Amino acid sequence: MSTTRYRIRHETAYVYGSDVVHSHQLLHLVPRPAPYQQCLEHTIDISPAAYRRREELDAFGNPVTRVEFEHPHRRLEVTTDMEVEVHPRPPVLAADTVAWERLASQLTYAGRSPAREDLEASRFRHESPYVRVKRMFMTYADDCFPAGRPILACVQALMKKINAEFQYAPGETSIATPVTEVLKLRRGVCQDFAHLMIACLRSRGLAARYVSGYVRSLVGSAASHAWVAVYTPPYGWLELDPTNDTMVGTDHIAVAWGRDFGDVSPLRGIILGGGSHRLSVDVRVVRLNS
């Protein structure tokens, strides 16, 4: 496999029913530096043009852009253009990873000083606003976690189970649909499947984080995509895409990661005024080299 280069355009437009008189927006639209990818260039164009802007890092190390609008407007447009290089990842063997019970015990607080990597991973073991920790998720994934099985083999089995048993159905859920409801419905979109997989893992005391980004020529390529990263010693964090039943590779471009969607939403904000609104999003991912 060789390095792959992409040109990506992400267009977001909000049309409001009345004037927005003041607005603060938080943008996760710049791909974060990561071992297997490099953002070569990017631009963010924003309309209306009268705004204040600040670049910084969030609590998870993701690049964020903070924007404040002080003048009335009825339309907000944000267009991001970027060029990203994605490198192939070395092969991993499930048999080389630790047994899942051993890892869950390793991540459990026991009155001792944990290894630095385990301490960092523990940030992603607990319930978060969009991910519940409940027995129903343990029960759903029971057959994927037999005693003594290597953690990567368990996670791959869980990914396959979700892909086989859940239908990709845009428009039938929203970000407000609880993950408990997604489990009952057996349908949803990439963010639902990522949240469900994370809930199954955290409910067993394992560490999993939500990754947002883009994907080429797979299910979910017409919008922002989402998948899961799992703490998997000795390899560290490994990424899996339950929507497409695949280990993440050169078809995926990561933008940000956090506990769940709420930490890494491409664009979210607080507005004064505006009334009702209409949102449109368009994502184009073009491979530049063959």
What is the architecture of the domain spanning 4-87+265-287?
Sandwich (2.60)
Q: Is the pLDDT of residue 226 over 60?
A: yes
Q: How many CB atoms lie within 10 A of CB 236?
A: 12
What pLDDT was estimated at residue 265?
96
Res. 2 pLDDT band, cuts 50 70 90: confident
How many angstroms separate the CA atoms of 34 and 241, rounded? Answer: 17
Strand, helix or coil for residue 166: coil
Please state whether the peptide bond connecting residue 234 to the residue before it is cis, i.e. omega within 30 degrees of 0.
yes
What pLDDT was estimated at residue 274?
92
Res. 113 pLDDT band, cuts 50 70 90: confident
Amino acid sitting at position 287: R
- pLDDT tens, position by position, 44-61: 999 998 789 999 999 999
What pLDDT was estimated at residue 115?
86
- pLDDT tens, position by position, 234-267: 999 999 999 999 999 999 999 999 999 999 999 9
Q: What is the mean pLDDT of residues 126-136?
A: 97
Q: What is the mean pLDDT of residues 33-46?
A: 94
What pLDDT was estimated at residue 66?
96
Under a CB-based contact definition with an 8 Å cutoff, are residues 282 and 11 in contact? Answer: yes
Q: Does domain 94-248 have CATH number 3.10.620.30?
A: yes
CA neighbor of 158 nearest in space, from 249, 240, 259: 240
What pLDDT was estimated at residue 221?
61
Q: What is the mean pLDDT of residues 178-198?
A: 97
Strand, helix or coil for residue 131: strand
How many angstroms separate the CA atoms of 248 and 239, rounded? Answer: 5
How many angstroms separate the CA atoms of 208 and 179, rounded? Answer: 15
List of residues 6+ apart from 142 with CB closer than 8 A: none
What pLDDT was estimated at residue 114?
80
Q: Is the pLDDT of residue 220 over 60?
A: no
What pLDDT was estimated at residue 88?
95
How many angstroms separate the CA atoms of 47 and 242, rounded? Answer: 35
- Kindly state the DSSP code that residue 89 receives in the 8-state scheme: P
Q: Is the pLDDT of residue 201 over 60?
A: yes
Find how far residue 120's CA is from the centre of its chain.
Answer: 18
Res. 15 pLDDT band, cuts 50 70 90: very high
What pLDDT was estimated at residue 260?
98
High-pLDDT (> 90) share of the chain, %: 91
CA neighbor of 221 nearest in space, from 196, 251, 200: 251
Written as six digits, the tokens of 116 are 């630095």
What pLDDT was estimated at residue 289?
82
pTM value is: 0.95
List of residues 6+ apart from 76 with CB closer than 8 A: 12, 13, 14, 16, 20, 23, 25, 46, 47, 48, 69
Question: Domain extents for the chain?
Answer: 4-87+265-287, 94-248
How many angstroms separate the CA atoms of 109 and 242, rounded? Answer: 29
High-pLDDT (> 70) share of the chain, %: 98
Find how far residue 63's CA is from the centre of its chain.
Answer: 14
Res. 222 pLDDT band, cuts 50 70 90: low
Domains 4-87+265-287 and 94-248 share a fold: no
